[in-house]
Chain A
Amino acid sequence: QSVLTQPPSVSAAPGQKVTISCSGSSSNIGNNYVSWYQQLPGTAPKLLIYDNNKRPSGIPDRFSGSKSGTSATLGITGLQTGDEADYYCGTWDSSLSVFYVFGTGTKVTVL
């Protein structure tokens, strides 16, 4: 069972904006950097955001990340049909040992 909680699904019309929340605790999000991954149907996950708000080369600025306390948020503006995918947050947890945790995942639907 994941320690990072995301909404199961969000949806919006093309061109609109969606935000996905990721809620954790002080042992993970609260004291470590957050990443976000996009998983298109039938493909491997792809890194979208790292270090809370940085985009790897090639990721459009329609995707943004932020962190506040023990929660993080992924924003997608100018929604496109190609953005329909599952999105996962992830971070390191340093409670009793060091391990990586993924969020529960959010399905984005473009209406």
Chain B
Amino acid sequence: QVQLQESGPGLVKPSETLSLTCAVSGYSISSGYYWGWIRQPPGKGLEWIGSIYHSGSTYYNPSLKSRVTISVDTSKNQFSLKLSSVTAADTAVYYCARHPLGIAAGGGYGAFDIWGQGTMVTVSS
């Protein structure tokens, strides 16, 4: 079955860059779907960060766009997140997830159907 696994440092200093990777198994990233990042600060709700297609096409949350870069490595079947100039407000559990993206009669569609288990990232000196 399709599985996603996040990895990366659990502690990042303020003003530095947060870097995470999501390894995909059981499915080839190049076969389709978009691949996204979502985060959840402690005790708070979900926030979409951005998504990427295997071609490199990206969509970003407008509120984070200036600090976010999402990239894909099809040879390793993984995709990555970089978030620059982090502050304590970026402390959160970071999830990677898969979703389709398209247009149908009822509008745009694309639910996050498979999620990684999440990884906690704390921003602190």
Interface pair B62/A50, CB less than 8 Å apart: no
Interface pair B59/A90, CB less than 8 Å apart: no
Interface pair A35/B111, CB less than 8 Å apart: yes
| In the complex, chain A residues whose CB is within 8 Å of the CB of B110 | 33, 92, 100
What 1/0 flags go to A1-36 for Cβ under 8 Å of B? 010000000000000000000000000000111010
User: Does B48 touch A at the CB level, under 8 Å?
Assistant: yes
Interface residue tally on A, bucketed by range = 20 to 34
Chain B contact residue count (CB 8 A cutoff): 26
| In the complex, chain B residues whose CB is within 8 Å of the CB of A111 | none
Chain B nearest CB from A110 CB (Å) reads: 21
Residue on A nearest B104 in the bound complex, by CB? A33
Interface pair B107/A32, CB less than 8 Å apart: yes
Residue on B nearest A101 in the bound complex, by CB? B48
Interface pair B48/A44, CB less than 8 Å apart: no
Given A45-B112, A96-B62, output 12 extra A-B contacts at Cβ < 8 Å. Answer: A32-B108, A37-B46, A45-B46, A45-B95, A45-B115, A46-B115, A50-B113, A90-B48, A100-B51, A100-B59, A102-B47, A104-B45
